[in-house]
Amino acid sequence: MELVLISVVALLTSGLTLFSGFGFGLGTVLMPVFVLFLPVPLAIAATAVVYFANNIFKFGLMAKKTDWRTVARFGLPAVFAQLPALASYTLGGRVHEITPVKAAISAPIAAFALLELSPRFASLVLAATFFAFAGAWIGKRLLKKVPCVLSNWPWPR
């Protein structure tokens, strides 16, 4: 009877989370039921198996309608963000890691900081007459790319 109850709850919960698009409800409902009948380590493993099977099922249903360009736009940066550390060092008793993301963000910051120290670029000044043009150009580009309340106002685009 326990096996039937666990199987029915797993099936119903997986079906409910299919419509939400996320599996958070799956673990919230399924874990307590599994823990009632199984030891905690086994309940965690069983929940992981149901999660995996549910995700494979969702992929099978949704793969045809997937916009793979969007997946690549989100997935490739996610893979890049999860690359292992390039190096690590200890400072003040704490271990710090240099990851590819940190290196990619810090390299332009360091380059611009070094340019600021250069006398040639220190004397470079943008004329004040260009400020309004630059602000309008950047603002117009942002309103086209970022939907917001202000983009519905009746000013010319």
Q: Which residues form the domain of 149?
A: 129-157
Dist. CA 67–CA 70, nearest whole Å: 6
115 inside domain: no
Could you tell me if residue 85 is inside a domain? no
What integer is the mean pLDDT of 39-54? 88
**Angstrom distances, CA of residue 74 to CA of 26, 63, 67:** 24, 16, 11
- Number of structural domains found in the chain: 2
Find the range with the poorest average confidence among 43-52, 55-64, 104-113, 147-156: 147-156
Question: What is the residue whose two structure tokens read 């390039």?
Answer: 86
CA dist., res. 97 & res. 57, Å (int): 37
What is the DSSP secondary structure assignment for residue 37, as one 8-state letter?
H
Q: Which of 45, 65, 85 is the last residue of a domain?
A: 65
- pTM over 0.75? The answer is no
Domain-terminating residue out of 65, 92, 115: 65
Domain boundary residue among 24, 42, 65? 65
Q: Is residue 89 part of a domain?
A: no
Mean pLDDT, range 116-131, rounded to an integer? 75
